Structures are given as structure tokens and as C-alpha cells.
Chain A
Amino acid sequence: MDLLLDIAFKHLRNRRRQTLVSLLGVSLGVGFFIAIAAMMQGFQNYFIDKIIDVSPHVEMKDEYRAPPPQPAERAFAGGAVHLVGVKPKDEPRGIKNGKAKVAALSALPGVTVAPVLSGEMILRYGSKDVSGTIVGIDPARERLVSKLERDLTAGGLDDLYTTANGIILGSGLAAKVGAALGDTLTVLSTAGVILKMKVVGLFETGIVNLDNFQAYALLKKVQVLQDRPNVVNRIRLRLERVTEAEVVARRVEARFGYRTESWQEANKNVLGIFVIQNGIMYSTTGAILVVAAFGIFNIISTVVLEKSRDIAILKSLGLTARDIGAIFVFEGLLIGVIGTLLGWAIGYGLTQALESIEFEIEGFVKSEGFILYYSATHYLIGAVMALIASTFAAYLPARKAARVDPVDIIRGAT
């Protein structure tokens, strides 16, 4: 084995420039993959962590996933019945028997529950009108289901209890309306109720949609503002095991009938974009490595062609076709392994360089630079991709080399 490796290594060393180009191809492919993966997964993890922290893991809404079936449909299920123009029944909004449902959900193991009422509102301050969503909460319960208190940059959650008409604004919302802590604004609801509310807190989650459009107030106050006394239209659940969100959501929906969304379903548009992002990342890296593989194929094919006499003599000395094939596969593997090691260094360096860049960006999340995630898995995936590409690129010329008939070559040379 060491003889075959030795020959492979010497072949590559004799073609330094070509070997270097192939190595560069592999190492850049691996390096860029690591850097891009760190960037993408960093952002994705940050977003998901934020979503999991800030939003409920599961949320029951006062709506149904599908309209209730009509009596005729129930009576002739599977029959040739097609109803058109059915006017759905107007039902009062809000979750019926909200308290009972909260109590039932609270009894589930590993689940904490908070009822809320959320609705549209307009904030008026000075000459500015800014629309947003106001969420009525019970601070004591809210603490259990979200990390709102941790995200407060000013004021406190309990100030909602101690201030008559307190409101906590997202930092972006406060900036848009031009209000600061202690300011009193006018809040208008779609029900036509107008309240003067005092800013008792500001929060910044890092998720732009929340920071720019959301505000919190006491549940009772929001019920007044929305003119829906004792009504809740959302029940938020926080789970001990966040991975069970989808299962719990399905179970709760099956039990109570109301549309119940896990955090994955609530953010499926963004998570779908992540899948596409990952696809683009793997395709780009794959393309770089395919180009590198062509380089490897080229160098090894050239070596096989150049070394046909050496191959013949090695066979006459007693090396088998398998040995000869192994020499050239080792050449590909050597480029793959060394390229991977270099790629790891390049990837780490690039990630560090990206980390040092500072800029402000506001998309799904607000950030002051790239959010990076260092993971050994990225290095492993990069290595596996590089080794597969380089081995496959070497395999074809290696197979050709293994099939060289020494007699043909020696006869041709003499």
C-alpha cells in the first residue's frame, strides 16, 4: 500500500503546477462551502432560535382550517354532491370557552399556556399614524410562554400592571411613531375605541416583523380597546420539547377543532426559503467541486497517458491491475485529502473574515453583521463532497490505467 501511495505522490509532485491548480479548485470549493454554510446556517439558526424564543411554539387561533362540512355533504359523503354558493355561518370571533380550554391545555404535560387577544390598531403620536398589532397579555403568564421580558430594552413587564393604560412597543414601531419611554400616545382600534396609553416598555427581539409592528398591553385593556370583553382569540403554548411542536399542534387541533399552528407551520414561508437557500448553497459548492473534479480528471488522465510505459513496466514487475488502478485513485484521493485540509483552513479563515465585517442589515432579522455558525458538520460535509468528487474524477482514468496491456505498450516502445 505504501508503495502505491509513494508512486501516486511522486506522480503528483512531478506535475506541480497542474496539481496545484487541482488542489486550489478542491480547497476553494471546500473553503467557500464552509464559509457559506456558516453564514447561512448562522442566519437560519439565529432566526429559528429567535422564533422559538419570541413566538409561541404552538398557537391556537379562533379560526378553522376548513369550513365545517354541510349537512348534505355529511349525509352523502363520497356521493355525487357538489354544493355551490354556500354562505358560511357568521360566528362571533374568539375562542369559545377560552378559560376552559386554557385550563385543559395547561393540564398537558410539559406545556405552559397563555391566552391573548390580538388585533389591529393604529398608533397616533403627534402627526404620525402608524398601524400595527396589539397583543393583550397577562404578564405573569406571558413570562412562561415567551422571552419578551428578556428582550425588553426599557421598562418592565410588570409596569403593565402598575400603569393605568400601559403599552410596550417594539423598538422599530416606537421609532416609526417617534415615541419614547414615558410618552403617551393615542391608540385606535378597528372597533372604533380610542385609548390614551403610556409607553412603559420597549422591546427588541431582532425579528423585524415583531419589532416594527407589534405592541403589548394588558389583556383586559386590549379587550376594552377591541370591544371584545372576556374574549381571547389566541392561546399560546410553550413546550418543554420544542421538537414536538408539530405533534402537539395536530393533537390540540384534533381535540378542539380550532386551527392550531406549530412554529414551523407559522413560519413555513421563511423555512421554505431556507430550504431553497440550502439548495442553492449545495448546488454552488457542487458546481465548484465539479469544476475541480474536471481538473483532477484532466491531470490524472494526462499522467495515465504519459506514464503508460511505467504502467507496463510496473505490471511486468508484478503489480496487478488493481494495484495500478489504486495508484491513480490514490492520486485523486491525495488531491482530495490535501485539498480538503487546505479548504478547511480557507473556510475557517473566510468565516473569521466574514465575522469581522460590521454592517447593519434589516431583513427577516436585524443584525450588525453576518451571523455565523461554526459547525464540525460543515467541515465534514465539505470533506465528504470533496473526497467523492476527487475519487470519482480519478476513478475513470484509473480504470483505464488498470486496463493497460503491458505487451501493447512494451511492443510499441521497442
Chain B
Amino acid sequence: MADATLQTARETTPIIELRGVTRTLPGVVPVTLVRDIDLAILRGEFVAITGPSGSGKSSLLYLLGLLDRPSEGEVWMDGQATSALSEAERAALRLSRLGFVFQFHFLLPEFNVLHNVMLPLRKAARLTLHECRQRAEGLLVELGLKDCIAKRPDQLSGGQRQRVAIARALANDPQVILADEPTGNLDSKNGALVFDIFERLVEAEGRSVITVTHDPGLAGRCERRVHLIDGRIVDDGVPG
């Protein structure tokens, strides 16, 4: 009984929560990217952030991923307010708890596939170099990239590169994957493949995945959709 209560509490405790968050770019004419956002992301949720271009989808994702700081309001991570944290502390949170996947793979061209995936592991320095290698190889095999381990990013297809980027995002076993239009640069087949991986991460591994997408079909595969217009959440619920 106690275990079940604990389990329920864990599942209903937001892993990331935005309370009254507004982000305004200062300038002669200040530009508000998102305004008055209240949003809680639970463990194991698969969330799509949708909306027209310029509606603040990516800005919201960067706030969720601690890459940006809100002008007003607070971002909470695992019950911890993050606005007072130093850049180094926020970087440490990104390293250990968050994984990013962007529209462009952003793999480092000087490193081969294996070493790209090993980057966050080496930075975290929790494992030996040998263990880092084993972990990275395991992830690449899991994502069907066994034959690409020693290749350089420019020797891979777009879909393969994006899967390497996902492997890199998963390297430190993060609780949350944040994806900014991860299929925007892929054909429909590879796009679907990426979403297959995300579904598996959510269902089999209990991670939270938050993805920005323009594609209504892919958004429909998520269990929750947050729709933005002009920086405000206008709809938050099960995709229709």
C-alpha cells in the first residue's frame, strides 16, 4: 500500500514545472517570446509542443531545458527552483538530467560517432573511459547504428545522424529528453523512426519526452499536446 502511494506520488510530482513564466527579449522594442506559462511535465510523459511558426515553441523548450532564463516566473526541476542557480549549476543539471535533440544533429565533425556519444559521458566523469565506450556502444547498437560506430558524422545519412544525436542525448541516462523539431530535417520514414524511439523511451524506460513539432501526425502520437499561439498556451491536453 505504502509502495503504491509512493509510486503515485512520484508519478504525479512534476519533473519540470513552469509557474507564471514569461520570457521577454530586452531591446528598444522588447519582444515577448512566451508569456504567463504554467506547465508541469510529469515523469514518463510524452508531450508535443505545437503551434505556428513564431508562437514560442522552441523558446518554451529552451526554458524547460534550462538553456534560457525566464524574465518572470520560475522554472522548477524536481521541486527545485532554478532561477537562483549559477550557470555552472544549471549546466550540471543539463548534464545529468536532460538530453537535447535538435532539428540539426549538431554532431561535432571532428569526432566520430562513438566519440560524439561519449562526449556527455566524459564530461560527467562518472565512468571510466572504457565504461564510457561500452555505454556509448550499447546505445548505438540499441538505436541500430552498430555499423556506424567508427564513422564520421559526414559519412552518415540524415536519419542516422539524428539517431546518433538521440544516443548522445541518452548517454547520461537523463530523465527528460527535449527535442526541438527533431524530424524537421528528415523524410517521413526517418521521422517516424525517431518517434518510434521516443515512444520506446517513454513506454519502456519511463523517461519524459518533450518534443516541438510542426507535424500534426507525429504530434498525434504523443499522449499530450501543448498548443501555443503568440507565446501563450491555448490548449493543453490529449491530441485531438
Contacts and interface: CB of A to CB of B under 8 A. Distances in A.
A414 B95 contact: no
Interface stretch (A78-86, A319-327, A359-367): A319-327
A65 to B, nearest CB: 66
Nearest to A317: B120
Contacts of B172: 318
A400 interface: no
Contacts of A10: 108, 110-111
Contact of A318 (B95, B106, B110): B95
B91 A319 contact: yes
Residue picked from A2, A10, A323, A410, most chain B C-beta under 10 Å: A410
A321 B120 contact: no
Contacts of B180: 410, 414
Interface in A1-39: 2-3, 6-7, 10-11, 13-14
**What band does the interface of chain A fall in when counting residues whose beta carbon is under 8 Å from B?**
20 to 34
Contacts of A310: 106, 108
A317 B102 contact: no
A320 B87 CA distance: 7
A352 interface: no
A318 B108 contact: no
A315 interface: yes
Contacts of B100: 313, 316-317
Contacts of B109: 14
Interface string B98-122: 0010111010111100000001101
Contacts of B67: 315-316, 406-407, 410
A320 B109 CA distance: 20
Interface residues of B, number: 31
Contacts of B94: 316-318
Interface string B198-214: 00000000000000000
Q: Is the interface of A mostly helix, strand, loop or mixed?
A: helix
Contacts of B110: 7, 10-11, 13-14
B102 A313 contact: yes
Contacts of A318: 91-92, 94-96, 120, 123-124, 172
B122 A320 contact: no
A414 B96 contact: no
B137 interface: no
Contacts of A316: 65, 67, 94, 100, 102
A411 interface: yes
Interface in B148-174: 168, 172
Contacts of B92: 318
A143 interface: no
Contact of A411 (B58, B91, B96, B184): B58
A413 B122 contact: no
Given A318-B95, A318-B123, A414-B180, A313 B108 contact: yes
11 contacts: A3-B122, A11-B110, A310-B108, A314-B119, A316-B67, A317-B95, A318-B92, A318-B94, A318-B95, A323-B123, A414-B58
By Cβ-Cβ distance, the 10 closest A-B pairs, closest first, are A318-B95, A10-B110, A313-B106, A3-B122, A320-B91, A318-B94, A316-B100, A320-B88, A407-B68, A414-B103
Interface of B: 58, 62, 65, 67-68, 87-88, 91-92, 94-96, 100, 102-104, 106, 108-111, 119-120, 122-124, 168, 172, 180-181, 184
Given A318-B123, A320-B87, A410-B67, 9 more contacts: A11-B110, A318-B95, A318-B124, A319-B123, A407-B62, A410-B62, A410-B106, A411-B62, A414-B102
